[in-house]
Structure 1
Amino acid sequence: MIEVQGLTKQYGEVRAVDDLTFSVKPGIVTGFLGPNGAGKSTTMRMILGLDAPTSGTATIKGQRYTELKNPLTHVGALLDAGARHPNRSAANHLRWIARSNGLPKGRVQEVLDLVGLSGVATKSSGGFSLGMGQRLGIAAALLGDPEVLILDEPVNGLDPEGIRWVRDLMKSLAAEGRTVLVSSHLLSEMALTADHLIVIGRGKLISDISTYEFIKQNSATTVVVRAEQLPRFTESLKLQGISHAESRDAENRLILEIPDRSTDEIGALAFAEGISLQELSLRQASLEDAFMGMTGDSVEYHAAAVPGAVPPTAATAVGVDKQPNQAEEK
């Protein structure tokens, strides 16, 4: 269990973290989200005792990180995958960390096998790709078989197989009853991985809620209808006072888009009117759409809109949005 109470961090005139209070519970994967500059990294650093808060507290299992004996056996963390000596081999990097926390040497080979780096264990880590570095960082976080894991952008640089492996790993660790806090900008991946979300903006708490409820509360839904007797159905919608708009699908077929209604309601109306529908589907925004809608006012830098871009809610199906390309592992 991670407990954050009234956590605040002031840098001169800048308040990076502003009176944050939340808890991260065991048994689930908790996503930690926010725009760049929201204060996520500063918060994680204070949880891990790397930065001192201006006020407030952050505890792990009821204790400050600095009070934990052999902390790697309690908490595993990945904040910077590049934090390693480039001339040291992967195995020696892990051996050095293990020895500093009184961990058995045999654990090094176990985590190397787990993350898929056994074949390069004796190679200099300075030559590792970004994805391989991430795997080594995850191996270091797992060395002490900890009950709590704090991971910052753990899938950065991983290929699709690696991303799926990290997703499955986090879920399996949570299923064992561990506390898992993960920060990521890949919102499509968070939609597949996180059970609960803590969202911050400009250092303040915006939302502390399940992933399902976050999307449901912050995303509009649209019912899409296609029928041969569409003009007749349009008149029925008008008589019922149901707002709608005509549009074209990817095959240039005429469709109706009906916002903020359920497929049950629209289907029942079509049945009552004796209108056969060729399509009745629900289009719901993704976690990305919900996140952008809620944190738009907290974004530090705004880029100009892309000319001709399709609005997210018009291009995204139920579930998650299309995942962006990731840098491939070597």
Structure 2
Amino acid sequence: MPPAPRRPTGRSSSAIPQVSWRAPQPAPIVLVSGPEEVCAERAVAGIRDYLRAEDPSVEVSDLRADDYTSGSLLTLTSPSLFGEPRLVRVAGVEKCSDAFLTEALAYLEAPQDGATVTLRHTGASVRGKKLLDAIRGGTGGGIEIAVPAIKRDSDKFDFAAGEFQTAQRRIAPNALRALVSAFADDVTELAAACQQLIADVAGDIDETIVTRYYGGRVETSAFAVADTAIAGRYGEALITLRHALASGADPVPLVAAIAMKLRTMARVAGSRESSGALAARIGMKDWQVDRARRDLTGWNEATLGMAIQAAARADAEVKGASRDPVFAVERLVTVIATRAPFGT
């Protein structure tokens, strides 16, 4: 059985139970809200699997809220001759038509017995807000599964770690970091990579296995470029950068990855707190603090400040301030790896 749904805490205005997308369960109305599509898909699929485990005869139907035919919701949720459970999956609620909005609000007042309706709202617009407010206010006996965007490195690390924890599989921390770095730009691809390793590899997963599967991605990732430059390995950094560019890497995320690591180093520099205390105070993971402290070896306040200024200049240039974004990245890598102004 999945864990009981929890009620929101803090300043949330929702009065209905909040359920994790990793442990979804059916309810008369299930609101799946937020932009992270891979988590939303998992949530809806999990509800389907839950219902099928209870009764394999469950009827599954799909609707588009933005291309809606009047009467469809009531038709699909109404009991059949043999009374099978019904699952109706509604997509595009953030673009819903007036007809759907009217009928969905009416449905909340009298949900059909044996029916589960999932409503997918990405949060891309305020369209359907009246419906969301009604659900969150408790009308219809619903639950909410929030799928916020996974943007920060710590969020991606937690996401990937959760994939292996859910599968009850062990992965070495350095292997997990390599995997997240290799797929830092696409959560969907990161999820697929995790699932491939879980399915293919028997036993614990170490960095050697990750490299064997995704070595090309690991070697040419933006973070590999940043790591070699920050470590002062100038020749290797340029080779890694050119390999990344030749593989189709965009200069913008390359500069962003470098700038992010430099900012992390700056936040950690000079602190004498323990890794755990500092991580908690600045909203990072212990391993990120430890890594930033290792990265600071050989750096001082002057060279770190110069590198951060170079990153800011490169960021502007790759976003349109220069006609040659590739040169802008190469100059940035040179400044960081040599820890000296360009051309000196």
| Both proteins in one fold, TM over 0.5 | no
- Give the structure with the higher percent helix: 2
When normalised by structure 1's length, the TM-score is: 0.29
When normalised by structure 2's length, the TM-score is: 0.28
